[in-house]
Amino acid sequence: MMIRFGCPVPTILIAAWLLAGCGTGAGPVSGVLQAGAAAVVITPVVEPFEDLDGDGQWEDGEPFSDLDQDKRFDPVWIAGFGSQRPALGVHDDLYARALILVQGDVRIGIVTLDWVGLMRDQALEIGRAARRAGVVLDKLIVSCTHNHEGPDSMGLWGPLGVSGRDDDYLDWAREQVVAALSRAQERLVPVRLVAGAGKTENLTRDSRLPIVLHEDVVALRFDSIVDGDPVAVVTHWSNHVEVLGGDNQQLSADFPASLISAIEDACPGAVGIYWQGMVGGLMTPLGVELTDEGGNVLPEDSFAKTERMGRLVADVALSALENGEDAGTDGRLAYRSASFFVPLENLELKLAGLEGLFERKLYDEKGRERQPSEIMLIDAYLETEASVIDLGKVQIVTVPGELYPELALEGPDGETFYQDPQDPGADFYPCGCSIPIYHYMRQTPYRIVLGLSNDELGYIIPRCQFDGQAPYAYGDDEPQYGEGFSVGPDLAPLLNTTLAGELQALAARQAL
CA 349, chain centre distance (Å): 19
* Cβ atoms of 483 and 467 closer than 8 Å: yes
CA distance 510 to 489: 33
Q: What is the pLDDT of residue 14?
A: 37
167-186 and 120-132 helices, crossing angle to 10°: 50
Does residue 49 lie in a domain region? Answer: no
Is-contact 486 460, C-beta < 8 A? yes
| Distance separating alpha carbons of residues 217 and 236, to the nearest angstrom | 6
The closest of 326, 333, 325, 327 to 30, measured between CA atoms, is 333
In a domain, 59, yes or no: no
Question: For the CA atoms of 256, 258, 263, 267, what is the dihedral angle to 10 degrees?
Answer: 130
- Gap between the Cα atoms of 278 and 417, Å rounded: 14
CB 109 within 8 A of CB 181: yes
Q: Distances in Å between the alpha carbon of 287 and those of 204, 240, 243, 246, 300?
A: 9, 12, 9, 13, 7
Q: Interior CA angle at 76 toward 72 and 82, to 5°?
A: 130
Collapsed DSSP state (helix, strand, coil) of residue 257: helix
What are the φ and ψ backbone dihedral angles of 501, each rounded to 5 degrees?
-65, -45
pTM: 0.94
Q: Nearest 5°: CA angle at 266, between 264 and 271?
A: 25
Is residue 46 one of the residues assigned to a domain? no
Residue 447 lies in a domain: yes
Helix (H, G, I), strand (E, B) or coil at 469: coil
DSSP single-letter state for residue 434: P
**Among 357, 377, 361, residue whose Cα is nearest residue 369:** 361
| 276-294: burial string, b at 16+ Cβ within 10 Å, e else | bbbbbbbbbbbeeebeeee
65 belongs to a structural domain: no
Domain that holds residue 415: 1-35+96-148+164-512
Q: Can you give the pLDDT at residue 318?
A: 98
Q: Considering the domain boundaries, does residue 75 fall inside one?
A: no
Nearest to 256 by CA among 101, 401, 148, 117: 148
Nearest to 143 by CA among 442, 418, 396: 396
Residue 423 CB neighbours (<10 A): 18
Does the residue 76 lie in any domain?
no
d(CA 114, CA 339): 25
> Does residue 58 belong to any structural domain of this protein?
no
Sequential pLDDT tens for the chain (512 residues): 232 333 444 433 433 333 333 456 654 444 899 999 999 999 999 999 999 998 999 999 999 999 988 889 999 999 999 999 999 999 999 999 999 999 999 999 999 999 999 999 999 999 999 999 999 999 999 999 999 999 999 999 999 999 999 999 999 999 999 999 999 999 999 999 999 999 999 999 999 999 999 999 999 999 999 999 999 999 999 999 999 999 999 999 999 999 999 999 999 999 999 999 999 999 999 999 999 999 999 999 999 999 999 999 999 999 999 999 999 876 789 999 999 999 999 999 999 999 999 889 999 999 999 999 999 999 999 999 999 999 999 999 999 999 999 999 999 999 999 999 999 999 999 999 999 999 999 999 999 999 999 999 999 999 999 999 999 999 999 999 999 999 999 999 999 999 999 999 999 988 88
Which 8-state DSSP code applies to residue 157? S
Dist. CA 10–CA 7, nearest whole Å: 9
DSSP 272-306: EEEEE---TTTEE-TT---B-TTSPBPPTT-HHHH
CA distance 176 to 259: 22
CA distance 110 to 172: 19
The reported pLDDT for the residue numbered 329 is 74
Domain count of the fold of the chain: 1
What does each C-alpha distance from 465 to 439, 472, 495 come to in angstroms?
Answer: 19, 10, 16
